[in-house]
Amino acid sequence: MANIKELAKQPERLSGGHRLCAGCGASIVARQVLMGTKDPVVVGSATGCLEVATTIYPYTAWKTPFIHNAFENVAATISGVETAYKALKKKGKIKKDIKFVAFGGDGGTYDIGLQSLSGALERGHNFVYVCYDNGAYMNTGAQRSGATPKGAWTTTAPNGKVSYGKPQFRKDLTAIVAAHKIPYVAQASASHWNDLVTKSEKAFKVDGPAFLNVISMCHRGWRFPQEKTIEISKLAVETGFWPLIEIENGTWKFTYKPKERKPVIEFLKLQGRFKHLFKEENKPILEEIQKDIDENWARIERLCEASCKIA
């Protein structure tokens, strides 16, 4: 488990003074993930909130080598850099161990960057991919993505007289990545920092690809006061909306289970993007969302039980 006294001694790799919103989950996620290794790190980032707000020319908030690329190809970019590093190390031109990490939002990971990510995972590059999942294309105005929850308001799936928001359930990217049979896959939340940093440490240590899917609060798109970021992040975990799990060499397990899961409405009611669901006519949608979370939780429990029997 991560040791807070040791973590406190580590130098920051993402400095303060960047232009991400106060209360933005992405910066918290990035800082915690980068605590997972003491080795030098090369960071790549898809176009998105994290990139545009930390690298406004001629300034940078990164205290690491940083590569910005297009929206859809951060996995391909970091793959190329990792391959070049291996070639130079083989020739003896580089001696030290260097880690590689790619950050992408859900738009650049679930959707437009999925092909690039899948290819990099299949080829087996030694890198960590981190999706900071804020549930929409927030950098360009809160358009719906494959990670947007059912019923949520977005600018391209608005609620109104003929719609209650996004009609589809969110994509299960964690399971999609796990199907690539890579060494390490996990879901995490900044509200449970020890869990996230511990998973980051594991991800950086494996030989091959590792993937972290981390829920990332966006008060602008989710419509909540910026000081409630961690509170809402914790509720995502406590309600089962965002299970804390890991798949290590094919073995599924929970890394945290609430003693008693709270109803999902406890998570939804604090966010303006769901306020319309609390109208009487939309009550069935809330029931559908709860049913989906219950079924997903039961599915993960079965996968964990099956993994234990195999192990």
Q: Taking the domains of the chain in order of start, what are their residue ranges?
A: 4-310
pTM for the model: 0.96
Domain 4-310 in CATH 3.30.1330.10? no
Lookup result for tokens 């219950």: 294
Query: What are the tokens at 224?
Result: 């909540």
* Alpha-carbon span 286 to 290, nearest angstrom: 6
If 0-12 CB within 10 Å is exposed, 13-18 middle and 19+ buried, where does residue 244 land? buried
* Alpha-carbon span 48 to 50, nearest angstrom: 6
Q: Which of 2-6, 74-78, 199-203, 222-226 has the lowest mean pLDDT?
A: 2-6
How crowded is residue 268: how many other Cβ atoms within 10 Å of its Cβ? 23
The predicted-structure confidence for 85-137, as pLDDT tens digits, reads as follows: 999 999 999 999 999 999 999 999 999 999 999 999 999 999 999 999 999 99
The predicted-structure confidence for 191-208, as pLDDT tens digits, reads as follows: 999 999 999 999 999 999
If 0-12 CB within 10 Å is exposed, 13-18 middle and 19+ buried, where does residue 1 land? exposed
pLDDT at 247 over 80: yes
Contact 83, 170 (CB under 8 A): no
Which residues are paired to 132 by β-bridges?
105, 214
* Alpha-carbon span 31 to 26, nearest angstrom: 9
